[in-house]
Amino acid sequence: MLDRRHFLSAAATGVAALSSSSLALRSNLFAQLEKTPPLPDHSLLDKDEDAFWAGMRRQFIIPEDEIYLNNGTVGSSPAPVLRAIFEGYNTTEKMDQQDPEDYPIWGYAAWNEFRDPLAQFVGCKRDEIALLRNATEANSYIANGIDMKPGDEVLMTDQEHPGGEHPWDLKAKRYGIVIKKVTLPRPVKDAAQVLNLFNDAITPRTRMLFFSHITTFSGVVLPAKELCALARTKGILSAVDGAHVPGMMRLNISEIGCDMYSSSPHKWLFATKGSGFLYVRDQVMDRLWCTIATEGWDDTKLRAERFQRIGSSNVPALWGLRAALKLANDIGMERIEHRHRHLADYILDEMKKRGAESWTSPDRALRCAIVSVNVPPVPRMELENWMWKTHKIRIRGGDPHKLRLSTPYYLQKKDIDRFLEKFDEYKREKKAA
């Protein structure tokens, strides 16, 4: 048993250790942000564009010796977004809201201070958009919420993400709907090819067209506006998985004309992980059941807001989302999209020079910042591990030989050249062995 002196000594030691741990945590967590330089001057975009994008690279805490080529899975949040998240915690966790009935729990109210800039950014009305946590959650809302009978068909591509495809698989297993798939060519030649494939696959039982605006498999930018118009002429609902689009290229959902749209801005917009959205066109709003139920679930006057009433969720994530929207607007989506296309074209051309089979569309309108190539006999997973563990280059692909290479705007040409150099080195080593 400890006497009082030993107890106090032990307690003091514990407090000192805790303080030391807290200081170390602060050092690790904030030191890089404190050293981050200011955002580059916007005027550099006209005077020295390379200097501007190099300045943007310094906004990310990705180590200088690391090359990250996988925004197709998830992006890194830059300093302005991280600061906003921390400020969100600093503000909300004080529990000193002006209204004693107001609590920092996203999932029970409108949160229009976050919905308004998001709706403006993606081109829709506030009442048509709900704040969610990712595209998978939004896709599940769509699949679970639309009334369909046994034998009714949903038509999709063979390149859907599991978070888009499997909600429909669940519905098929539970309710007997039928999933039909259009096989996309590798690569897709042009928009007419896609439209003809979908048109030929539609039957009198087709009730829903579900497709990725940009597919996760090959990065092809499908002709969303034309596909949604096709669905409308057939009396079919259209739902678009736009996980990759916000932040990669300009987006106006209203112009696309879809009935529903989902997304995960943590990829190309560099928003907080756990921030996503669901768009539902006002004219079809009342056809979608709310399948997560809490207060307000059946209040149709709330419009899309009722789909974001999902219970306790993380408010500072929305601070990060808002900061990501502001950053993209400040740079300009036209500039960002142009940069994405320029980098992707460069890495695609270089890979083709190395004998890679391109699964990226030759039509510039059908590609942006994801390049997909087939590189037999290179084993994808072995190359992925070698690149990362030996050279701090992070890529992703698919077995047996596919590589999917993402080109976020802060990427430098020297980074791409280093990847290409190491790719050549790996092939030489394999050949010598």
CATH 3.40.710.10 fits 36-76+332-432, yes or no: no
pLDDT attached to residue 32: 80
The reported pTM is 0.92
CATH 3.40.640.10 fits 92-328, yes or no: yes
pLDDT attached to residue 219: 97
Q: What is the DSSP string of 16-59?
A: HHHHHHHHHHHHHHHHHHHHPPPPPPTTHHHH-HHHHHHHHHTT
Tell which residue, 75, 289, 329, has the closest CA to residue 175.
289
pLDDT attached to residue 47: 93
**In the chain, where are the structural domains located?**
36-76+332-432, 92-328
List 146's β-bridge partners, or say none.
Answer: 288
pLDDT attached to residue 106: 84
List 212's β-bridge partners, or say none.
Answer: 241
What is the rounded CA–CA span in Å between residue 360 and residue 372? 5
pLDDT attached to residue 273: 95
For residue 265, whether the previous peptide bond is cis, meaning omega lies within 30 degrees of 0, is: no
Per residue of the chain (433 residues), give pLDDT as tens: 445 555 445 545 554 444 555 545 455 767 788 888 999 999 999 999 999 999 999 999 999 999 999 999 999 999 999 999 999 999 999 999 999 988 888 888 899 999 999 999 999 999 999 999 999 999 999 999 999 999 999 999 999 999 999 999 999 999 999 999 999 999 999 999 999 999 999 999 999 999 999 999 999 999 999 999 999 999 999 999 999 999 999 999 999 999 999 999 999 999 999 999 999 999 999 999 999 999 999 999 999 999 999 998 899 999 999 999 999 999 999 999 999 999 999 999 999 999 999 999 999 999 999 999 999 999 999 999 999 999 999 999 999 999 999 999 999 999 999 999 999 999 999 888 7
Tokens of 424: 């050549």
